[in-house]
Structures are given as structure tokens and as C-alpha cells.
């Protein structure tokens, strides 16, 4: 069975995040709980201790992808963030479409445009679960905050 081969008898929930899932306890709790009744696929990014595929349960598939744009420290943060968005979309979209989700669950603003594309192409439901509006998050400069708010507002409908 491949890393994304779905269990066809159950609805499929796709989790998308810009974090390393095996170290994100909030996401781990959600996907582990959901995997009791749904087929769950989670796609995140790798960290320095990169481990490509980590299956936990029979109804749960976790894939961590290396993100090359994270290493471009010499370019401005706002531009690097935009490159990360493009790279995430390019790398995650084929995997997201392959699992044919019923529900797409986005944990971060950076994967929200990807979630919206998957929703439109698969006619799935979209959940944006950032726990706060990321445009109000500390650590963003004015430009990043404004662009994040535009993405959030565009996807709200």
C-alpha cells in the first residue's frame, strides 16, 4: 500500500500544515482522534531530523516534505515566505489531489491557498483552523500582516 492509498470505505480528511507534524502535538492529537473514524492524510514539512513518511495507524498517513526555500536566509523574509508558499503548493498539490479528500483541513495561512485549490478541484469541504487570525500574529511585519489578511479574507467565503 502506498503512502497515500486511501481506505475507500471511509471519508478522507486531509490535513495541510507548514509545520513538522511529528513534533506538533495539537495536530497529532487531532489526526489521531480523527483516524478512529476517518481515513486521515496529513502533509507537512520536514525539519532538521527529517523523516519522510511516518505511518502511525492503519487509517493515518503522515508525509513530511523537505522545504528548500527555508534555507534561503540571505533573501528578505517576506519574499522567502512567498517562495515557501509557491514551493508548498507545487510540492503538496499532487499529493493532496491523489488522496481525494472529502475534507481539507488547513492549519496555517500559508497552506490556505493550496487548501482552496484542492477544495475547488475535489469539491471537498474546507476547514481553516489557525486558532487565531494569523494576520494578527506577533512577529509579522506590516507587509506580511497585510498580505496574510488578504489571503484570509479571500478564502473566508
46 pLDDT tier (thresholds 50, 70, 90): confident
∠ CA 5-91-34 to the nearest 5 degrees?
Answer: 45
List, for residues 89-136, the tens digit of each pLDDT value: 899 999 999 989 999 998 887 888 889 899 999 999 998 876 555 555
What's the rounded Cα separation, in Å, for the pair 2 and 90?
20
What's the rounded Cα separation, in Å, for the pair 104 and 114?
10
Stated pTM of the model: 0.75
Amino acid at each position: 500500500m502506498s503512502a497515500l492509498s486511501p481506505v475507500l470505505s471511509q471519508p478522507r480528511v486531509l490535513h495541510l500544515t507548514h509545520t513538522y507534524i511529528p513534533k506538533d502535538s495539537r495536530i497529532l492529537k487531532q489526526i489521531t482522534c480523527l483516524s478512529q473514524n476517518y481515513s486521515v492524510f496529513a502533509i507537512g514539512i520536514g525539519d532538521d531530523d527529517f523523516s519522510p513518511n511516518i505511518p502511525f495507524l492503519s487509517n493515518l498517513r503522515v508525509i513530511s516534505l523537505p522545504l528548500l526555500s527555508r534555507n534561503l536566509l540571505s533573501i528578505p523574509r517576506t519574499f522567502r515566505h512567498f517562495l515557501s508558499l509557491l514551493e508548498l503548493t507545487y510540492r503538496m498539490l499532487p499529493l493532496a489531489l491523489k488522496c481525494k479528500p472529502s475534507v481539507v483541513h488547513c492549519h496555517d495561512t500559508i497552506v490556505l491557498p493550496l487548501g482552496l485549490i484542492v477544495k475547488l478541484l475535489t469539491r471537498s469541504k474546507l476547514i481553516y483552523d489557525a486558532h487565531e487570525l494569523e494576520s494578527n500574529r506577533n512577529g509579522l511585519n506590516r507587509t506580511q500582516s497585510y498580505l496574510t489578511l488578504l489571503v484570509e479574507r479571500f478564502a473566508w467565503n
